[in-house]
Amino acid sequence: MRSRRGNTYLAKVKEHAGIEGNEGADRLANIGAQCEHPDEISLEIPDQYCIRGAKFSTLTQAMLYKGIRERKMTKYKERPATELTIESVRTVVTARTNRVPSDSTIWKSIRSLDMDRKIRAFLYRALHNLQRVGKYWKKIPQHEYKATCGTCNKTESMEHIFTECVNTGQQQIWNIASQVLQSRGIDPGLKSLSNWLSAGMPNIKRPNGRAGKAKNRFFTIVMSESLYLIWLIRCEWRMEKEENELDKHTSQEIEARWKHRLNRRLRLDQAMARKKMTEWRKLNKNLVLNTWRGSLNREAQLPEDWIGEKGVLVSIEDRRPPGRNR
Ligand SMILES: [Zn+2]
């Protein structure tokens, strides 16, 4: 078969139906069965036909990538720290969605296109526990001091940065994010690292029981942008500002930064929903309008379709009517 020049196709044929090849094979099998000694058949493959590996001309990049990955992965086992993080994310998402997400659902969620590319990369590293935080520094001579959060006098950890630290803006950012979500009737859940990390797995249902695509998208955008802002502030505080108390981020600054990030996303959405966009990158206009509906500044004054408008901004005012949704 290897020495054949043309393509070889295999097809299943009906047996005992008078098909010549099949009948012939039966005859030979009969003769073979009656032989006293087995025939000596050489199973060696001539060198010129013995090709190992993959054929470049028919290889796609995805196949090549998969092959390389499979070879490499045999060497690695899942890191225990990764398993722990995945497990705690699973717990949060199970509570949120009443469904137990599989590992692949969780990994897929951090590739959600509703999140900024940098945030996706951050989440990948966070699920693998790769950020150089806390314990990591304890083993590195002359850098041991970096393991501790100077202000809180505690070993730093992702949990600390996102749920406890007084200088990462986490409390204020959580307050803003949950208020903005609640004003749309979205439950932000409880503040925890796993809740932040599961930004890509929302579960909002419309009254008819179907997934609320726009609100889910809003949840993912707000949670992921907020998460990343905390990380940026933490890094600036620890590295650029070298934990100088006189130079710490003020709450006005944090609020302005939050608005800035969200407004950037809003403008990007507007741009991607405009007609000029090439088809493959284009966002559905109604999806964009519904994603932000109810969360904009002076929304009543905006036209019904504000995709082409300039100066549309995200609002963080609490505009829930008193007594409802509380
Ligand atoms: Zn701290």
Task: For residue range 52-87, list pLDDT tens digits in order.
Answer: 777 777 788 888 888 887 777 666 566 788 888 999
- pLDDT tens track for 285-306: 999 999 999 999 999 999 999 9
Cβ atoms of 280 and 258 closer than 8 Å = no
- What is residue 279's predicted lDDT score, i.e. its pLDDT? 67
Distance 154 CA to ligand 1 centre (A): 7
d(CA 173, CA 234): 12
The Cα 101–Cα 91 span in angstroms is: 9
Instruction: Report every protein residue that has its C-beta within 5 angstroms of ion ligand 1.
Output: 149, 152, 165
Confidence check: pLDDT of 199 > 90? yes
Instruction: Check residues 266 and 37 and name the one with the higher pLDDT.
Output: 266
Ligand 1: centre distance to CA 155 (Å): 8
**pLDDT for position 203:** 81
For ligand 1, the distance from its centroid to the CA atom of residue 161, given in whole angstroms, is 6
Sort strands 148-149 and 154-155 into parallel, antiparallel or unpaired.
antiparallel
Nearest to 197 by CA among 158, 166, 165: 158
CA dihedral (293, 265, 263, 231) positive or negative: positive
* Range with the largest mean pLDDT of 48-62, 138-152, 248-262: 248-262
Q: Indicate the average pLDDT of the chain.
A: 87
How many angstroms separate the CA atoms of 152 and 166, rounded?
Answer: 7
Distance (Å, whole) CA 68 – CA 316:
47
Q: Is 62 helix (H, G, I), strand (E, B) or coil?
A: helix
CA distance 219 to 236: 26
DSSP string, 146-175: GGEETTTTEE--HHHHHHT-SSS-HHHHHH
44 CA to centre of ligand 1 in angstroms: 68
CA neighbours closer than 13 Å in the CB half-sphere of residue 11: 7
